[in-house]
Amino acid sequence: MDAAGRLNDPARTVVIERQEPVFRGYFHIDRYVLRHALFAGGMMERPLTRELLERGHAVAVLPYDPVRDAVVLIEQFRIGALGAGLGPWLLEIVAGIIDTGETAEAVAERETLEESGCRVMALEPVARWLSSPGCTSETVALFVGRVDAGAVAGVHGLADEGEDIRPLVVPADDFLAMLDQGRLDNATILIAAQWLALNRAHLRARWLEDTRRATRPG
């Protein structure tokens, strides 16, 4: 049996003895009291208490212009960075929460326009992961979005959500140099940069060929 099969073994039981709300605000926090199956067999004798942050599921997008061979990054204030003692303005990629009834692709297109001013012309799915499974159920679905970075300017974001976002056009070589130099300091942008480093040449060639095909006469 492979590792995935062992991880998904239905014999691994979780018994939730109690679940209760702890906090309701910008985020929700619930407290779980539970017992789970043990690797050595049987169940935990004493229950485990854990708090779980519920904030929905997120989509992230690395806007990439294959013609200019450049990415569009954003800068914005982040309370987590402030609390960690880092500079509170982070260099990030586009991201947003999936609302009820939305697809990840629709959120990718909406958030890219809202945060960078760019319209997505194509989406390349990359990965989906748990952002911090020790404390939250949030997942992140990452895409690379094809954009035209030529008109990037100004400040973006929704005022009623307190957003103040500045987009920046960065040559892909410079972006990947920032990765090599350890200058990217949040997980989403790191994963996006690593994926682009591995797949940039192939993705760029494919998207440029798509453009050539679309512009060929007849």
The reported pLDDT for the residue numbered 2 is 53
pLDDT at 9: 66
Does 137 score more than 50 pLDDT? yes
Spatial CA neighbour of 74 closest among 149, 182, 160: 149
Q: What pLDDT, in 10s, does the model give residues 28-84? A: 999 999 999 998 889 999 999 999 999 899 999 999 999 999 999 999 999 899 999
What confidence score (pLDDT) does residue 8 get?
A: 58
Higher pLDDT, 4 or 172: 172
Which long-range contacts (C-beta less than 8 Å, at least 24 apart) are formed by 44-53? 47/17, 51/22, 51/135, 52/135, 52/136, 52/137, 53/27, 53/28, 53/29, 53/135, 53/136, 53/137, 53/138
Please compute, for residue 164, the number of CA atoms within 13 A of its CA located in the half-sphere on the CB side.
5
- How many angstroms separate the CA atoms of 182 and 132, rounded? 21
Model-level pTM?
0.89
pLDDT at 10 over 70: no
pLDDT digits (tens, 9 = 90+) for 13-44: 999 999 999 999 988 999 999 999 998 889 99
Q: What is the pLDDT of residue 161?
A: 80
Give the catalytic positions in this structure. Answer: 161
Q: Is the separation of the CB atoms in 94 and 177 below 8 Å?
A: no
CB 113 within 8 A of CB 96: no
pLDDT at 209 over 80: yes
Q: How confident is the model at residue 181 (pLDDT cuts 50, 70, 90)?
A: very high
Mean pLDDT across the stretch 191-198?
98
Please state, for a pLDDT cut of 70, what percent of the chain lies above it.
94
**pLDDT attached to residue 218:** 59
- Whether 1 has a pLDDT exceeding 50, the answer reads no
User: Rounded distance, CA 135 to CA 54, Å?
Assistant: 9
Q: Domains of the chain, with CATH numbers?
A: 3-54 (no CATH), 58-215 (3.90.79.10)
The mean pLDDT value for 93-98 works out to 96
